[in-house]
Amino acid sequence: MPDLTLLYVVVFFALAFDFINGFHDTANAIATSVSTRALRPQHAVMLAAVLNFAGALYSTGVAKTIGGDLVKAASMVNQQVIISALFGAIVWNLITWWFGIPSSSSHALVGGVLGAVSVGAGFEAINLVGVEKIILSLVLSPIIAMAGGYILMIAMMWIFRRHEPGKLNTGFRKMQLLSASMMSFSHGSNDAQKAMGIITLALLSSGQIPTLEVPMWVKLSCATAMAFGTSIGGWKIIKTMGGKIFKLEPITGFAADLNSSLVIFLATNLHLPVSTTHVVTGSIMGVGSSKRLSAVHWGVAQQMLFAWLLTIPFSAITSALMYKFLALFMHV
């Protein structure tokens, strides 16, 4: 198969990953506002789709981190490696979506890249310093989100302590339109860039572009794929995120979304990829803990944590096997 044809396959898989990421992670942006009935599900999904598209066009810093920090040089990987990496991430996303388990598309993609590169180009091709930076941002972000959610909710309870709960929730139900919008924009600003980075890496490794700069057609394609995927809506995961971790009210839903959007947007501006799923979950747990620890359904949290721990190794193994399969039939 000609190298240019393989490049087309990479673009297809990357856009498929972005599309699946869109409906897999729709819950991150709208679960809280849907669960509190601040927004109708269909309206919330369309709002998320539009603002995911807008957020995806915000910058390319995260894309450059994904495309440039996982491997030492673009010349050390070929299209088969990148195809295999995307395949592993897509398989894991589809499995977790089917069972309604919130999991990290970012972790899946990193695991896929590490598995495929290790087998296809060798461990020496992996940029350990860059990988450590990315893994650190993925691990620390939900912890920061949990602490931030706790502090923000404590502050809000103190500020509004004299207000009648009924009127307070009515007001914050309207405010959730703002927090859901912020969350959707920040989600697009970070998550869509991951596929942009992979496509740009593929273009650079095949000699189609001279430097690791994201072409406009790549930005528009990834933004469109994510927005289209978001418009479908991942209803199974929305149910888990919106009610099974902690019973949300408008004020707690607003606090969780506001905190999550700030953490994600900060990461985007620092050019760091984070898991929006982990950040939102951490925020919900932090907000819930501010009420009382028993208010959080820690059993559900443990199930999610188990899935998260499996994400990178499963994606890595699946990607490695996919590369072996391609090597067998294409004589790589």
Q: Where are the domains of the chain?
A: 3-330
Query: What pLDDT is recorded for position 297?
Result: 65
User: Helices (DSSP H) in the chain: which residue ranges?
Assistant: 3-24, 26-35, 41-56, 61-69, 79-98, 105-120, 128-159, 165-205, 216-232, 235-239, 250-269, 276-291, 298-330
Query: What pLDDT is recorded for position 310?
Result: 84
Query: What pLDDT is recorded for position 28?
Result: 66
d(CA 157, CA 95): 39
Query: What pLDDT is recorded for position 264?
Result: 94
**pTM for this model (two decimals):** 0.86
On whether the CB atoms of residues 176 and 38 are closer than 8 A, the answer is yes
Query: What pLDDT is recorded for position 301?
Result: 65
SS3 255: helix
SS3 126: strand
Give backbone dihedrals phi and psi of 206, rounded to 5 degrees, phi first.
-95, 5
d(CA 302, CA 285): 12
d(CA 164, CA 179): 22
Query: What pLDDT is recorded for position 47?
Result: 87
Question: Nearest Cα to 60, choosing from 157, 198, 174, 165?
Answer: 198
Query: What pLDDT is recorded for position 240?
Result: 58
Query: What pLDDT is recorded for position 1?
Result: 45
Tens-digit pLDDT string for the chain (332 aa): 456 888 999 999 999 999 988 877 766 677 777 777 777 878 888 888 899 899 999 888 999 998 888 898 888 888 999 999 999 999 988 888 777 776 778 888 999 999 999 999 898 999 999 999 988 998 899 899 999 999 999 999 899 988 887 788 888 888 988 998 998 899 889 988 889 999 999 999 888 999 989 999 999 999 999 888 887 765 565 565 555 566 778 888 899 999 999 999 999 999 999 988 889 888 988 988 887 776 676 666 676 677 778 888 999 999 999 999 988 877 55
